Structure 1
Amino acid sequence: MSRNPIVAVLHAHVLPSDELMAPVATRAEVRYTGKAGLSDALDGADVLFLYDFLTDAVPGAWHAAGSLQWLHIAAAGVDPVMFPEARDSDVTITNSRGVFDGAIAEYVLAQILAFAKDLPGSLRLQQSHTWQHRESERIAGRTALIVGTGPIGRATARLLRAAGMKVSGSGRTARDADPDFGTVTATEDLPEQLAAADYVIAVAPLTEQTRHLFRDTTFAAMKPGARFVNVGRGELVRTDDLVAALRAGTIAGAALDVFDTEPLPADHPLWDMTNVSITPHNSGDFAGWRDDLITVFTDNFERWVTGYPLENVVDKHLGYVPSR
């Protein structure tokens, strides 16, 4: 490239650190923009860095992306940029795979322990100044089915195994002797696997195949005492069916970090269910996560500008980064 590349950076409320972006700024023209100015920033740009990883602005500005070669999103999920024009283009898409794996795995373990030890119930008793002796459950020996076998699922599997749980996976293709999951069954065999699981953890990417994977028939296939944890995407779940399953006792509880509508409306029935734990899409947001997201991009930019293959390249047909 005879000129310096142009990098458009879409941000929301927080600008990337100048210090961390210095490796890019010294070798490229950097255009910072909010949602309203994205089309102008994309005009002539070679690279788009979506630091606003929840944005819905890219499809509407895509008409200006005639020079775009590479799009990087500061997230593991790439569904915001899997619209037809981007899929069909020659633009390479990369994600921030690897940043959130350990933190989300810890969140899943914490939610499982909270269910087993009834920590929310203990807090309610404390708040009412009630001394009430109770017994709790063990998690050692309990079964966990992890739906989604990417890096976050693998980190979760390793941590749950270390806590003594029996772990298996559900993914696109079946296989035995997996180093982290042991046995991985294919998605079409999910119902029979659900029947044996005490905890079902959803970490799958959102694709047309996984949208509403968890619905009335899925919840009906679970054990009545099973707990459901969703740290994948809200749209993996048909929320009304989940509410109905919780109310009917079809499943025993749910820990939810993601929702099909965010923020979750204040009048939504999930808020008032004592067997539900709600967090605001922050299961992976550890101290320093925003800086790590920038570093993933700047490291990949160094590869791109020097002609090395990019890391974390998304298969646009599959909608995620294939496992190595």
Structure 2
Amino acid sequence: MSETGPPVVVVLGDDRPPLLERLGQAARLRQVTQKGLREALAEADVLLVWDFLTDALPEAWPEHGGPRWVHTASAGVDRLIFPALIDSDAVITNSRGVFERPIAEYVAGLVLAMAKDLPGTYDLQRSQIWRHRETERVAGTRAVVVGGGPIGRATARLLSALGLRTALVARTAREADPDFGRVHGFGELPRLLPEADWVVSAAPLTDETADMFDAATFGRMKRGARFINVGRGPLVVEDDLVAALREGRLGGAALDVFREEPLPGDSPLWQTPGLLVSPHMSADTHGWLEDLAEVFLSNFERWVSGRPLHNIVDKKLGYVPVAAADTPKIEEGM
């Protein structure tokens, strides 16, 4: 690690992030791929995980020393939660503030597309078939959004604005929430599922949430309900979801995240009836890479000046706690 001169900022990823030229002489940049990561970490003061799908960090993390600050260009930090990093003095921050509204809009689009059967309309159009159908009204239907962080909250707010009666479920129940009145705890999910027309998974991946959507969970859902996952792939037991769709228990589903990405060509998910597959794109809107760079640059300014960082992850919980959140607006700066 650097003892004199500007701090060493190691950027992990094949592609160079935009806007980093604004760092100027304030940092010594070193961009590496997974192959050069181990050597680079030994001298790094800061690690910017631009390739946030990497699995290379646990093996490359040094036994002694290492970066004092690790920032990831993602909301989820499950790939950073490994023993050596947890036990280190390194602070972890995420890119909270970039993804919430785009993902909420994507979920709202999926709800409307399924309720109005837009995929069916497109299929009939391609076959030049004129077939009048009736569709569903979403206002007045019930939604359960699982995940009480900023993505889940933004999603629940937008669904409520569409007229859905929305319940938000988080790790810990909370009373007198300013947006939802009550936030339900995970333990209340079995009681909420049988009344839900829509179930949205937007939770972080932790030991508590892994595999939470399995055969038992789908079995508790109302027959014909729809399921959407924009959280993390391992939240869902994919074979159980396939079975629930093929048996007609669920009326439809949409997955934007998967246990293995890219999704293998031989995965049964591609051909499962009633399932919409998208390639982990719900948060990615025009200009999102610049927004991610802005979050890092704003935090870098704080780090070099000794001010508290935004978006500090609780390494034991595996996410940024809502009560402790200090999320920046995307600011102009370095």
TM-score (norm 2): 0.93
Q: What is the Cα deviation at residue 64 of structure 1? A: 6.4
Deviations along 1:232-280, one digit per CA (max 9) or x if unpaired, are: 0000001111111111122111011001111112122221233111100
Q: What is the Cα deviation at residue 65 of structure 1? A: 6.3
Counterpart secondary structure, 1:52: coil
Q: Distance in 2 between matches of 1:196 and 1:182?
A: 19
Q: Distance in 1 between matches of 2:309 and 2:180?
A: 28
Letter in 2 for 1:69: R
Q: Distance in 2 between matches of 1:181 and 1:259?
A: 29
Aligned pairs for 1:27-106 (under 5 A) are 27-63=26-62, 66-106=65-105
Whether 1:305 aligns to 2:304 is yes
Deviation above 6 Å: which 4+ runs of structure 1?
none
Contact 2:102 2:282 in 1 (8 A): yes
Letter in 1 for 2:16: L
Letter in 2 for 1:41: A
Aligned pairs for 1:240-279 (under 5 A) are 240-279=239-278
Aligned to 2:332: none
Contact 1:167 1:182 in 2 (8 A): no
Aligned to 2:135: 136
Contact 1:146 1:169 in 2 (8 A): yes
TM-score (norm 1): 0.96
Deviations along 1:87-140, one digit per CA (max 9) or x if unpaired, are: 111110000011011100000000000110001111111111100010000000
Aligned pairs for 1:7-18 (under 5 A) are 7-12=9-14, 14-17=15-18
Q: Distance in 2 between matches of 1:269 and 1:179?
A: 42
Aligned to 1:110: 109
What's the RMSD between the two structures over aligned residues?
1.3
Letter in 1 for 2:236: V
Identity over aligned pairs, percent: 55
Deviations along 1:181-224, one digit per CA (max 9) or x if unpaired, are: 33321112211111111100000000010000100100001001
Aligned to 1:193: 192
Q: Distance in 1 between matches of 2:64 and 2:5?
A: 18
Aligned to 1:159: 158
Q: What is the Cα deviation at residue 4 of structure 1? A: 1.5
Contact 1:143 1:165 in 2 (8 A): yes
Q: Distance in 1 between matches of 2:163 and 2:268?
A: 34
Figure out how many residues of one structure are paired with residues of the other and give that number: 321
Contact 1:58 1:81 in 2 (8 A): yes
Q: Distance in 1 between matches of 2:295 and 2:70?
A: 13
Q: Which runs of 5+ in 1 are unaligned?
A: none
Aligned to 2:326: none
Q: What is the Cα deviation at residue 66 of structure 1? A: 1.4
Counterpart secondary structure, 2:128: coil
Deviations along 1:10-58, one digit per CA (max 9) or x if unpaired, are: 112x2112xx113334211111111101112112211100011111111
Q: Distance in 2 between matches of 1:122 and 1:284?
A: 25
Letter in 2 for 1:102: R
Deviations along 1:136-184, one digit per CA (max 9) or x if unpaired, are: 0000011110000111111111111111111111111112332233332
Q: Distance in 2 between matches of 1:198 and 1:176?
A: 24
Q: Which runs of 5+ in 2 are unaligned?
A: 324-334
Letter in 1 for 2:210: R
Contact 1:199 1:228 in 2 (8 A): yes
Counterpart secondary structure, 2:217: helix
Q: What is the Cα deviation at residue 300 of structure 1? A: 0.3
Counterpart secondary structure, 2:262: coil
Counterpart secondary structure, 1:146: strand
